[in-house]
Chain A
Amino acid sequence: MAKTILAVDDSASIRQMVAFTLKGAGYEVIEAVDGQDALDKANIHKVNLVLTDINMPRMDGLKLLELLRKLAHYKTVPILMLTTESGDEIKAKGRAAGATGWLVKPFDPKRLLEVIGKVIG
């Protein structure tokens, strides 16, 4: 069965690009527009991987990470953060919130698939 990925980004263009790329590689994709939306959807669909932006309205990616990690299903699910912010501070925060890894924007579809492939093959 195809693996399901939850793609969270408030930017429609990035979200659609990510979704398109992942679908093209045979993944199922669920899209969410912010942390709150993602949390709601993550509760309904038990996805195999979460790919989240950090800076979003309503609920940001760090809070989402933190809350997801408190859910039984998401304790061990890989959660990758997509971030335009470079620097160690954000990575430390992500790590503390329970992120599996990070991917710096801008990225191209190839790199995205490469990273995803490493995590859920």
Chain B
Amino acid sequence: MSTDLEQFYEIFFEESSELLADMETCLLRLDVNSPDLEDLNAIFRAAHSIKGGAGTFGFTDMTEMTHMLESLLDKLRKGELEVRSEMIDAFLKAGDVIKAQLAGHRGEGQADPTVAAAVCEELKRLSDETQAPAKELTNPATNAETVQVEAEVAEVEVSTIDDSSKLTYSIEFSGTGMSDATLENLFANLKQLGNLENLTSANVIDLCKLKLTTDKSEEDIWETLAFVVDPATLKIVVDTRNKNEAMAIEPEEKNSISTDAKSIIDEDEFSMTDMPPAPGYGFFPGAPAAPQDIDDAESSLNSPQQQSANNSKNEANATLNKSSSKANTGAAAPVSEASSIRVSIEKVDQMINLVGELVITQAMLAQTASQFDPVVFEKLHSGMNQLERNTRDLQESVMSIRMMPISFVFSRYPRVVRDLASKLNKRVELKTVGENTELDKGLIEKIADPLTHLVRNSLDHGIEVPEKRTAAGKPAQGTITLRAFHQGGSIVIEVSDDGAGLNRGKILSKARERGLPVHDGMTDQEVWLLIFEAGFSTADTVTDVSGRGVGMDVVKRNIQGMGGRIDIESAFGVGTRISIRLPLTLAILDGLSVAVGGQMFIVPLNYIIESLQPTAADIKTVSGHGRVVQVRGEYLPVIALHEIFNLRPNVTEVHEGILVILEAEGHKAALFVDDLVGQHQVVIKSLESNYRRVQGVSGATIMGDGKVALILDTAALVMTSQQEAV
């Protein structure tokens, strides 16, 4: 049966990731001074659910951690302990460990057991250390309640607990794969139950043998062990008098029970006593009986249950009516779980691919149909129009499946900002705007790292320390705003801060130090772009947060790799805003089609600065290094596309053709082509998966006339031309 469980692993992983994310959100929202009970409950529930799942699916490392987490959380939500910020830190760390463990089970990396042990230890310390003073603080009301419950337990579950004479159990289980810390912890827990004797022979760790003398029931022992020990290997046997196995199933005569219930109980009793003790479950004597509330258990426990059963019968009729009317309205209310389905990303991609094909076919048909006389073939033409509309709608809705709200990325930053701000002794508030803006899942995954870098940068270099801010007449608490919105066919993500802003003079002098070609007449925009140069940093001191000058160039490269653009606006002393503009999806590209020797190529639009027809005088030949063209005082290498792809061009002289000026990674080059054809939105097809990787080509597309056009790898072309020019 156990192999069957594997099919639920993926659901469990997904579910746990979501729960962890929820937990983190709640933790970050939690106000240490006045914790919201709802939040504490939600956090507890998340830990609890993960523990339940992890236990069921046999991920013991996760159960251990969640168990520690849960114990402390339980004390918090019951008000036995005060929430302190170091606990929140510990919870967050524990969340990280669970995340790592989860990734480990998924086969993505390995969780570090020493970190887990350290966090476990810390949680335990927090939970134990404060226990003593908190007990004094516990208000009498809760105390009384607990006592009440205990008293009740003593009365109802007589059979096991009232057997007050101590029993000795011998316990055996396999310790394979368990760390020493786990075992120690386990032994400590068992010691709390009673007198523990460890009979494990030192050289056989595989089989742990223990002897425990306790007044607790076998179930209690089982429950202590079940989360840590593989239940299949666990054996608990009563050593002395075999009194204990009946558990809580002796029907109590004082309860009058319905015949149905009686038969169940009788059967239970029969089978339970008949079989070897199987702890981990049990039945209540007298159940299912008339319901009674725990709150008035005090009174109803003494009164005959028959009476309360009669009382509640009337109540039940009333509730029945109420509940059924609720059911009618309730059925219409959507349950979030049921309103979404999980689909593998491959299926979605296949669908997107097929729709892409459909769009191409439709375009081909449209082109063919356009040759027919619209008067004679009126129906064909109106049909074609409808097909085009439907295809477009279909494409849009299929594309939207891959779309995810950017909150998936934004949600990680409260944590980043919190951790970093406390490290740097800064006070920062993070605002997010437009979390529901959607973009392609592929982009969501890729944007996270660059965005993290920008947020960290804003915090480290942008936001000043509180004293400095107050001195400058600003509020002591800085603000970092993450904003996302749609503009045209792209999505814009902004990271802005109300910090110090970029220092033009400092950037310029640093640039000069590094020998970069700068002059005082540069526009602000040009100066700001210098911070994207590799190795550029204006930070006076290098911290472990940032300032090493690695990163901004990587950020820019990543954004460009996604077909995006990055811009900076900044005012000294007021703040900085960095905006990233990305295409909505990776599957469609805005491109300029150019013709060379009868072939069509697509140049991604976001790399193009301008197109021009040079005069013969602008073209210079550098011996051994090809040709350059002078554009507004700048010499750019000329890339002749026909030479790269070995084509016979219609024009061989540069000044007879057209130059498309490209910019990639800060370098410019002029692409020499025969002609410009037009601007298209093209569906990207991978050349690599359909053919093989070709130098200088990033993909292919099928044009409306059915011909294949290659999409140029602009960045690679520009870089190659740079290397040749050097």
A104 to chain B, nearest CB (A): 5
Interface magnitude class on chain B? 35 or more
B287 contacts A76, C-beta separation under 8 Å: no
In the complex, which residue of chain B has the Cβ closest to the Cβ of A44?
B327
With A71-B316, A91-B157 as contacts: A13 and B8 at CB distance below 8 Å: yes
Task: Point out the residues of chain A lying under 8 angstroms from B63, CB to CB.
Answer: 106
With a cutoff of 8 Å between Cβ atoms, the chain B residues found around residue A108 in the complex are 1-2, 56, 231-232
CB within 8 Å of A: which B12-31 residues: 12, 15
B1, B161, B317, B338 pick with most chain A CB within 10 angstroms: B1
CB neighbours of A75 from chain B (8 A) = 258, 288, 290, 316
Contact across chains for A11 and B15 when beta carbons are under 8 A apart: yes
Instruction: Name the one of B51, B161, B226, B326 contacting A88, with C-beta atoms under 8 angstroms.
Output: B161
B188 interfacial contact with A, CB 8 Å: no
Q: Are A100 and B288 in contact (CB under 8 A)?
A: yes
Q: Are A78 and B288 in contact (CB under 8 A)?
A: yes
Assembly CA distance A76 to B45 (angstroms) = 30
Interface residues in B128-161 (C-beta closer than 8 Å to A): 146, 149-150, 152-153, 156-157, 161
Are the CB atoms of B223 and A86 closer together than 8 Å?
A: yes
Instruction: Digitize B502-544: 1 where CB-to-A-CB distance is under 8 Å, 0 elsewhere.
Output: 0000000000000000000000000000000000000000000
Q: State whether A13 and B1 are in contact (beta carbons under 8 Å apart), knowing that A20-B8, A100-B288 are contacts in the complex.
A: no
CB distance from A22 to the nearest CB of B (A): 12
Instruction: Decide: B280 and A78 in contact? CB cutoff 8 A.
Output: no
The one of B261, B268, B281, B282 in contact with A76, judged by C-beta atoms closer than 8 angstroms, is: B261
User: Please, which residues of chain B bring their CB within 8 A of the CB of A119?
Assistant: 264, 268, 283
Task: Please name all residues of chain A whose beta carbon is closer than 8 Å to the beta carbon of B12 when the two chains form the complex.
Answer: 13
Q: Which B residues are CB-close (under 8 A) to A111? A: 278, 280-281
Least distance between B600 CB and chain A CB atoms (Å): 49
Chain A CB within 10 Å — which of B48, B297, B317, B324 has the most? B48
Set of chain A residues within 8 Å of B267, measured between Cβ atoms: 118, 121
Given A11-B52, A105-B55, A96 and B294 contact (CB-CB distance below 8 Å): yes
The reply to whether B288 and A98 form a contact with Cβ atoms under 8 Å apart is yes
Q: Known: A13-B15, A66-B293. Contact between A100 and B283, CB under 8 A? A: yes
Cβ of A14 < 8 Å from any Cβ of B? yes
B260 contact set on A, CB distance < 8 A:
76
Question: B489 within 8 Å of A by Cβ?
Answer: no
Query: What sequence of 0s and 1s flags, for each residue 1-29 of chain A, a beta carbon within 8 Å of any chain B beta carbon?
Result: 00000000011111011001100100000
Bound CA span A44–B331, Å: 9
Q: Which chain B residues border A91 with CB–CB below 8 Å?
A: 153, 157, 248, 284
How many chain A residues touch the partner (CB < 8 A)? 67
B273 contacts chain A at the CB level, 8 A cutoff: no
Q: How far is the CB of A112 from chain B (nearest CB, A)?
A: 9
B232, B316, B326: the one contacting A70 at CB < 8 Å is: B316
Give the interface centre of B4, B219, B284, B335 by most chain A CB atoms within 10 Å: B284
Answer yes or no: B5 CB below 8 A from chain A CBs: yes
Judge whether B149 and A70 touch: CB under 8 Å: no
B126 within 8 A of A: no
- Say yes or no: B264 contacts A100, CB within 8 Å: yes
Nearest CB on A from B280, distance (A): 5
Q: Given the complex, which residues of B lie within 8 Å of A30, measured CB to CB?
A: none
A84 touches B48 (CB 8 A): yes
Nearest opposing residue in chain A for B44, CB measure: A55
Tell me the chain B residues, 247-298 only, with Cβ under 8 Å from chain A: 248, 258, 260-261, 264, 267-268, 271-272, 278, 280-284, 287-294, 297
Choose among A77, A87, A106 the residue that contacts B226 (Cβ–Cβ < 8 A). Answer: A106
CA distance A44 to B327 in the complex (A): 8
Alpha-carbon distance between A69 and B49 when the two chains are bound, in angstroms: 26
Q: Are B4 and A101 in contact (CB under 8 A)?
A: no
State which residues 88-109 of A face B: CB under 8 Å. 88-89, 91-109
Does A12 lie within 8 Å of B11, measured CB to CB?
A: yes
CA distance A36 to B281 in the complex (A): 25
Shortest Cβ gap from A120 to chain B (Å)? 9
Point out which of A24, A69, A97 has the most chain B C-beta atoms below 10 A from its C-beta.
Answer: A69
Residues in A with CB closer than 8 Å to B2 are: 108
Chain A residues with Cβ under 8 A from B8's Cβ?
13, 16-17, 20
> How does the 8 Å CB contact mask read for B150-194 relative to A, with 1 for contact and 0 for none?
101100110001000000000000000000000000000000000
Instruction: Give A21-48 interface residues, CB cut-off 8 Å to B.
Output: 21, 24, 33, 36-37, 39-40, 43-44
- In the bound complex, what is the Cα–Cα distance between A121 and B4 (angstroms)? 23
CB-based contact A84/B264 at 8 Å: no
Beta-carbon contact of A95 and B284 below 8 Å: yes
CB distance from A88 to the nearest CB of B (A): 4
Distance between Cα atoms of A121 and B263 in the complex (Å): 12
Residue pair A76, B258 in contact (C-beta under 8 Å): yes
- CA A39 to CA B327, docked complex, whole Å: 8
**Chain B contacts of A105 at CB under 8 A?**
52, 55-56
Q: How far is the CB of A72 from chain B (nearest CB, A)?
A: 6
Interface residues of B in 377-419 (CB under 8 A from A): none
Cα distance, A67 to B330, chains bound together (Å): 16
Chain B nearest Cβ from A89, distance in angstroms: 5
A33 touching B337 by the CB < 8 A rule? Answer: yes
Contact indicator B281/A40 (Cβ below 8 Å):
no
B320 touches which of A53, A72, A77, A96 (Cβ 8 Å) = A72
A11 to B223 Cα, complex, angstroms: 21
Cα-based distance from A109 to B157 in the complex (angstroms): 27
CB pair A88 B223 closer than 8 Å: no
- Chain A residues contacting B281 (CB-CB under 8 Å) are 80, 101-104, 107, 111, 115
Question: Is B432 an interface residue when CB atoms closer than 8 A count as contact?
Answer: no
Q: How many angstroms from the CA of A76 to the CA of B315 in the assembled complex?
A: 16
Indicate whether B681 reaches chain A with its CB closer than 8 angstroms. Answer: no
* A65–B284 alpha-carbon span in the complex (Å): 14
Whether the Cβ atoms of B319 and A67 lie closer than 8 Å is yes
Partner of A100, one of B227, B231, B287, B316: B287
Q: When chains A and B are docked, how far (Å) is the Cα of A92 from the Cα of B44?
A: 21
Which residues of chain B are near A96, meaning CB under 8 Å?
A: 152, 292-294, 297
Residues of B close to A115: CB separation below 8 A: 281
- List A contacts of B44 (CB < 8 A): 55
Distance of B309 from chain A, by nearest CB (Å): 9
| Chain B, residue nearest A54 (CB) | B48
Distance between Cα atoms of A24 and B293 in the complex (Å): 36
| Across-interface contacts of A114 in B (CB, < 8 A) | 278
A105 to B226, CA, bound (A): 9
Knowing that A86-B220, A98-B291 touch, tell me 5 more A-B residue pairs with CB under 8 angstroms: A13-B56, A89-B149, A92-B294, A108-B231, A119-B268
By Cβ-Cβ distance, the 5 closest A-B pairs, closest first, are A106-B55, A86-B223, A101-B283, A69-B291, A13-B12
